[in-house]
Amino acid sequence: MDKFTVLKEYFGHKDFRNGQAEMIDNILNGCDVLGIMPTGAGKSLCYQVPAIMMSGITIVISPLISLMKDQVSSLVSAGVSAACINSSLTSDEYSETMHRICCGEYKLVYIAPERLGTQEMDRLVSSVDISMITIDEAHCVSQWGQDFRPSYLHISEFISSLPHRPVISVFTATATDTVRDDMIRLLGLNEPFTMITGFDRPNLRFSVIKPQNKYAELKKLLGGFGDKCGIIYCLSRKNVEEICEKLNDDGFSATRYHAGLGDAERRANQDDFIYDRKQIMVATNAFGMGIDKSDVSFVIHYNMPKNIESYYQEAGRAGRDGSPAECILLYGPKDVRTNNFMIEKSREENSDLSAEEKETMLERDRMRLRDMTFYATTAGCLREFMLRYFGEKAPSYCGNCSNCINGFEEADITVDAQKIVSCVYRIKQKGRYFGKNMVIDVLRGSSNERLLSLGFDKLSTYGIMSDVSVYTLRAELDFLITNGYLDFTGDEFPVVELTPLSAKILKERINIKMKLPKKPQKSRKNKEQEFPADEKLFEKLRGLRSRLASEANVPAYIVFSDAALRDMCRLRPVDREGFLNVSGVGTHKADKYGEEFCRLISEYIEEEKE
């Protein structure tokens, strides 16, 4: 079989996506490969297709049990023989799986990195023909990545111990140039063919909201999503507990996930979300890596994460099947302070690093937080900001982020800038710098007790911008910081400071223009994106899918993704030949599910006629 036959027969697709065919061809030609492809771009197919075509087995090194289970379930559902070896197996299951691997019954075997180098693994690799080693989530090998895992550092040693060096294929969704170089060096790749397909995912709509009341805004957003499923990320375990409890009290179907829960509860809560028993997952960043749930319609960050890499990866868990999805950040200035505290705390916990290494990592994390804060406060296109961060050129207008949708108003803020910088200068004359809120309170003439106790009501800048809204004033202040006219630095309690450019505003009176975001408008929903052409048929198909998934004890998306159901609504197949034309329907799934889905569609068409 050639790669196109494998693609159609097992995975139900007619054509490869950008970069997939080139990656597969290089693997089949015996070359090491490195694929940096966004979530939803089809990284898995890049190694699964050649694994099926190769003579031996492919070992896939994967960091999480949930990721392995999802991948194996999807492969088995498509008719591919696959298994995983991890701590969730019983002693009998482990022995049976190892025996079947040695007998050559599997094409792909998923293994946790911690299992490499054990006596059982040494015996296994010496008795089977290994065609390829695939390393998923490969950014975990780099200390400069956001998910560093020491166990990944032993992978190269494991590969070197093999009787014959197989092809090495390496994949990740996010990697800066530094992380990419680390992956090549630390994993011992030989002049790898490298494919970077781009980080843009047009189906995702990015939004930043700066609400006065975060929980009220969250409830409003969730009310608009109906029965769709999604993830809410929080910075702390405490936040997860509070938000999850409030949502359930308010009638939402929510569960929780964080490292403070026991293993059994984490697994149970994760399964409730995966199997659609709970609609909303409230979690810390401990949840999500390797979760292959394809029908996540929204990801809401209740707090700002500490770097753009983490935000991109977490937000990218929405819309994996290509359907329109929302990625929303609820930003508040307190998030910056909390992240700074957590960064400082992580330095204390990294006991294996030298003092110099700790300081280097600390400075790197502060810079990343600064970039994340700039993303949350920019008046420009959010998509362009993110793509530029990862080294891609992009238009300054995408038309599918909150800033582009709400639009901008070009404004001359020269006078306002002079007032703001002058206020920072006057506060500094009192002996120290303060945070953004204090600067804004002085400018707007607040009468809060701390301001009055410090005597800031006597400053010449007190109340000189009382007619300017907090929304506009904060946007102008963030603009001045982003463009270097002021600085925002500090560890646990960041403060606004003067810079060399501050003098240009006060002494040279240079003109300052910026794009001010318009007041948020209610976005008009695109009904063609929100629902398939026939919502009623779509719901019937979802019901059938749910029943079949329940009978097989697998998540619904393992049977078919929402995208496949929408394609069924469009094509309305009534026989096996027509069913095979649906995107995502391969030979195995057509044989297994085709009759029931075609019968339902036929009955629906007859009902329409009547």
Q: Can you give the three-state secondary structure of 374-405, one letter per residue?
A: HHHHCCCCHHHHHHHHCCCCCCCCCCCEHHHH
Residues 356, 278 share a domain: yes
Quote the DSSP letter at residue 80.
-
Q: 208 near 329, Cβ under 8 Å?
A: yes
- Kindly report the average pLDDT of the chain as a whole number: 87
The CATH number covering residue 560 comes to 1.10.150.80
Q: How far apart are CA 169 and CA 457, in angstroms?
A: 64
Q: 30 near 167, Cβ under 8 Å?
A: yes
The 10s digit of each residue's pLDDT in 343-361 is 877 766 666 667 777 777 7
* Paired tokens of 435: 């945070």
Structure confidence at residue 329 (pLDDT) = 97
User: Is residue 429 situated within a structural domain?
Assistant: yes
User: Is residue 445 situated within a structural domain?
Assistant: yes
The structure tokens 């502060």 sit at 366
C-alpha distances (whole Å) from 547 to each of 63, 554, 570 are 31, 10, 22
Q: How far apart are CA 532 and CA 565, in angstroms?
A: 9
Domain that holds residue 454: 408-517
User: Is residue 364 situated within a structural domain?
Assistant: yes
User: Is residue 314 situated within a structural domain?
Assistant: yes
Structure confidence at residue 528 (pLDDT) = 40
Domain count, the chain: 4
Residue 525 has pLDDT above 50, yes or no: no
Pick the residue with more confidence: 254 or 293?
254
Residues 464, 330 share a domain: no
User: Is residue 400 situated within a structural domain?
Assistant: no
Residues 453, 363 share a domain: no
Residue 490 has pLDDT above 80, yes or no: no
Q: How far apart are CA 154 and CA 290, in angstroms?
A: 21
Pick the residue with more confidence: 222 or 470?
222
* Paired tokens of 487: 């600085």
Structure confidence at residue 527 (pLDDT) = 38
The CATH number covering residue 100 comes to 3.40.50.300
The 10s digit of each residue's pLDDT in 301-325 is 999 999 998 899 899 899 888 889 9
Phi, psi of 130 (to 5 degrees): -95, 115
Residues 253, 121 share a domain: no
Q: Among residues 393, 419, 448, which one ends one of the domains?
A: 393
Binned at pLDDT 50, 70 and 90, residue 529 comes out as very low
Q: 171 near 134, Cβ under 8 Å?
A: yes
Residue 176 has pLDDT above 80, yes or no: no
Residues 476, 538 share a domain: no
User: Is residue 427 situated within a structural domain?
Assistant: yes
Residues 208, 184 share a domain: no
Residues 350, 499 share a domain: no
Structure confidence at residue 486 (pLDDT) = 92
Structure confidence at residue 439 (pLDDT) = 94
Residues 264, 167 share a domain: no
Residues 544, 420 share a domain: no
User: Is residue 298 situated within a structural domain?
Assistant: yes
Instruction: Kindly give the residue spans of alpha helices, DSSP state H, lying in 3-117.
Output: 3-11, 20-28, 43-53, 65-77, 91-102
The structure tokens 């319609």 sit at 297
Query: Considering only CA atoms, which of 317, 314, 315, 241 is closest in space to residue 282?
Result: 241
The 10s digit of each residue's pLDDT in 49-90 is 999 999 999 999 988 777 788 888 889 989 999 998 877 788
Structure confidence at residue 530 (pLDDT) = 44
Share of the chain above pLDDT 70, in %: 94
Residues 425, 276 share a domain: no
Query: Considering only CA atoms, which of 165, 164, 168 is closest in space to residue 186?
Result: 168
The 10s digit of each residue's pLDDT in 376-385 is 988 888 999 9
Q: How far apart are CA 507 and CA 505, in angstroms?
A: 6
Residue 449 has pLDDT above 70, yes or no: yes
* Beta-strand pair 33-36/204-209: unpaired
Binned at pLDDT 50, 70 and 90, residue 531 comes out as very low
Average pLDDT over residues 387-412: 83
Residues 536, 499 share a domain: no
Of 292-301, 467-476, 593-602, give the lowest mean pLDDT range. Answer: 467-476
Residue 363 has pLDDT above 70, yes or no: yes
Residue by residue, DSSP assigns 470-539 as: HHHHHHHHHHHHHTTSEEEE-SSS-EEEE-TTHHHHHTS----EEEEEPPP-PPPP-HHHHS-S-HHHHH
Residues 244, 181 share a domain: no
Query: How distant is the alpha carbon of residue 202 from its chain centre?
Result: 14
Q: Among residues 517, 552, 583, which one ends one of the domains?
A: 517
Predicted model pTM: 0.71
Of 239-243, 440-444, 512-516, give the lowest mean pLDDT range. Answer: 512-516
The CATH number covering residue 447 comes to 1.10.10.10
Quote the DSSP letter at residue 114.
G
Structure confidence at residue 523 (pLDDT) = 45
Of 18-27, 113-122, 313-322, give the lowest mean pLDDT range. Answer: 113-122
Of 115-119, 263-267, 499-503, give the lowest mean pLDDT range. Answer: 115-119
Pick the residue with more confidence: 521 or 155?
155
Average pLDDT over residues 576-602: 92
Phi, psi of 10 (to 5 degrees): -95, -35
Residue 532 has pLDDT above 50, yes or no: no
User: Is residue 403 situated within a structural domain?
Assistant: no
Residue 290 has pLDDT above 70, yes or no: no
Query: How distant is the alpha carbon of residue 56 from its chain centre?
Result: 33
C-alpha distances (whole Å) from 138 to each of 33, 151, 157, 324 are 12, 11, 15, 27
Average pLDDT over residues 416-420: 94
Residue by residue, DSSP assigns 207-219 as: EEE--SSHHHHHH
